[in-house]
Chain A
Amino acid sequence: MGGLQKKKYESGSATNYISRNKARKKLSLSLADFRRLCILKGIYPHEPKHKKKVNKGSTAQRTFYLLKDIRFLMHEPIVGKFREYKIFVRKLRKAYGKAEWGTAEKLRGNKPGYKLDHIIKERYPTFIDALRDVDDALSMCFLFSTFPRTGKCHVQTIELCRRLSVEWMNYIITLRSLRKVFLSIKGIYYQAEVLGQIITWLVPYQFAHDHPTDVDYRVMATFTELYTTLLGFINFRLYQTLNLVYPPKLDGKGEEESRAESEEDYAMDSERYMEVLLHLFCHSRFSHPCFGSLQEKLFEGLKFFLNREVPRESLAFVLRCFGAQVSWDKSLCIGSTYDVTDETITHHVVDRPSLEKQYINRYYVQPQWVYDCVNARMLLPVEDYFVGVTLPPHLSPFVEEKEGDYVPPEKLKLLALQKGERPEQEEEEEEEDNDDSEEEEDEDQSDDEDELKGMEEKCRVCRPIVLFQASSVKVTPGEAKPVNRQRAEQEAKAEEKRLAVMMMKKRDKYLYDKIMFGKKRSVREANKMSAKRKALDEASKANKKKKLKK
């Protein structure tokens, strides 16, 4: 006994966390600077296990950071740079206000800057760590590279993003490590495997953005700052692993040279730079035959020509990743290698309802064919993708159906094709399969009904006997009922399970109920989908018949 009484909230989890405002005050930073620092250093709030304890008894909503994280931020040299920059801005404003142009110029010459190298190294101690986290960086860079070069963010940033993304694509082409592509309504998803890491990124379609008003571009810019640094270092390292020089030389001229043109024809220069960049990735001069398995040589030996209405950049990227030769109209963009009239072209990618002048010795396909082939890892029959034909659905390659999930029939067809079965036979089989599975499902659903039916049957059996017996008590030899052994066994098992479930502990029961609820829901959804599909198919069949009759 004895000793001092323990005070509340002076030890334990209450001291491990710190609220955002307190953290900000501790670092003596403005909210904007704190936000920037958190983004750059990758500090995020933590959800404490016992919120009330941490919040000192209050239940008010508050975000908490780990105290250790904040202490860690205190040693960050970049915090000093932030302060320097703030002072610089103040001085500059003063100089402008006093119209002291000389001072202003001098100040601008000494504009403080900072580098993020050490932060990258610290956040990603190994290269693999960095690669693991490159998804968001890529998506962001690809988005920023599509921004118009007016307002919103610095032109240099846009150009840097563009350069980095093109370099990345170049690397992917060289290594042929693209795995999956998906055309969604949001943009194009690419998935590549780099050094064993699966990396997915999203590229918007090539359209002008209508910039939303509810987006804070400063936050985005801070992220981009970090991401460009990260991506630059990653690119450097990746190029190094291929024994390539980084940054890659453009058109014989070094990148530095091309950038160091006079500032007068700046706009033209930057545009030319973009085009040259494009050229780089359109004609990667390095080919590594050692890389690339059979699947990666999917389009090897095929010669493609892209019509002007198809998304050229995306298609060229994908096709080159799988070893095809690509060209386009000379007037469209630099980098075209052969003309439409080339006799050796095997595939002509067209995205218009009809084409006037067609050559005999090539296939005219819609762009979806290329993407579907990549996802299926085989050359699909081109007939479904001819010009003007209604396209088959484009399926997501990222979905991996588990048991019990709904699988669209197109996917089943594709799986069969991959196994090497013929599509016609497969269709029939598939239908049968479908029927079977549906029947099974029906059975599952109608278990209760069956029970009811059984009872009814029993009633039928009983009633006449009962009526017959009403007059006098008699003993008659019973009829031996045929027993379905399997069924009985199943029922017995089900009953056994039911009883066991009944004897579960409360905690386990809760979890079990939750899991079973989820399972039932997924089954319900799958059933709903298949029913919907069935109805749609029937409707379309009826339509076809009508048309035929007409």
Chain B
Amino acid sequence: MAALRTDSGWRPAAGARFFCTAGRGLEPFLMREVRARLAATQVEYISGKVFFTTCSDLNMLKKLKSAERLFLLIKKQFPLNVSSVSKGKIFNEMQRLVNDDPESWLSAISIWKNLLELDAKEDKLSQRDANPLKRKVEENDIINPKKLKTKQMQELQESRECQLEKQTDEATVEQGDFLTNREKSQEAFQNDAVKAVAAPNQKDLTFRVSCRCSGFVAKTFTAQEVGRVIGIALMKQFGWKADLRNPNLEIFIHLNDIYSVVGIPVFRVPLASRAYIKTAGLRSTIAWAMASLAEIKAGAFVLDPMCGLGTILLEAAKEWPDVYYVGADVSDSQLLGACDNLKAAGLQDKIELLKVSVIELPLPSESVDIIISDIPFGKKFKLGKDIKNILQEMERVLCVGGTIVLLLSEDHHRRLQDCERGGIPWNSKGSHTDEPGIEKCLNPGEKTDLSDTVSSSAETSGQGDLDKMPPFGSLVPVDRYRVSLGRTGAFICRYRKSPSSAASRLAAVSRFQSSQGSCTALKAVVSGSR
């Protein structure tokens, strides 16, 4: 197989095809990321997965930030026809997934081995003997097809992801040493590699099939049945042995109404589970997506005035290091947790933490370039008045032309929309729909959601009201994205501070000043602005 052997890692010269799972709503971010980070081509988003082709090596693939899991694609084709009466016929169709084109399986496996082998060579030099640790990772990692229930893929993955993250956290707490966490992920990566190397000959491969069914397929079959059929077909076709506990190779199959997809997970640990984050608050993929929306440039002053455990700042500082980051919170326990996180990630020099309140920021006006924040959800956080105060203070400290990116619960978002009545209407196109593929591929359900909210705001904001001041002075909404947080949904909203209202506010200030009798002050304010 034609390949480029470079120092960084093996890369498929002609490009290999992958797919990623992503949290609902993060797909546009992922599509943008694979293009930017991996120079990906043939990028498609179909029903919860983003498919793409890239020549990148394992190290670059590891860096994906808005994806849940990454798979090497073996096969993607039309959904199984389950309208046939005979179950046997459908089983035959499933077997054909394996038997029709065994070459595609073998070449995918060859790419997989190449991707991971080089890693094994590098890491062997620094390999630490930690067998008990290794076993612990694997034991908890088993996806036993027998246990699989037929659920929506998203939910199952999320709970698995959470489980894995919890395992990682627990192990870390037990070990009492952050380094173990990072090494554990490295161990996991090494595990993949060691297993790949350990199977010198494809005949000796051991495998395990993990299967998800949704839609009509799920009504007819259980995941176990499908897994069994595929497993037997693989054994017959390639002579591999099944190993549920500790296989070399994992095969992932997803059958639904839209496609049948088969792939090989590239990493044991989901990409969403970061080695450098000790205790995650907000989901790391969403935190990164928010930071990516903020257009952070070198030398910027970035503030998170309700930073909690600091997840957003950690993600941002890892990606955009030459930036001045400040996090603030009123909770001692959260700040201590954030402090731990910073130390564990080695970022304590990059991020400053302050115990101050978001409604009383000790910052001069217009001194912050970017604000990114996860507005706390929950009953203890009063809606309405608080949100307004918070936004007003954020607006005060933000530079003209600066960007604010907020994560808002559905309640907060609705409240803000009511406030925006009479303000500048949402641009109903929004910048995230400039992907022509997205319009076609979005689930009908999701599309209705977005257009529902867009049309309701269009209704409430009167057409003739453009002269009215938006409620937050100069904050102009730019775009927003609905994302899933597991059980609930939320909105990532981006605002920009426009200069246009600055003039009208200066006018208001001057009126105040002249009523106070100091006209010279106005000239000073106008000319003295930084």
The answer on A and B forming one complex is: no
What residues of chain A have their CB less than 8 Å away from a CB belonging to chain B?
Answer: none
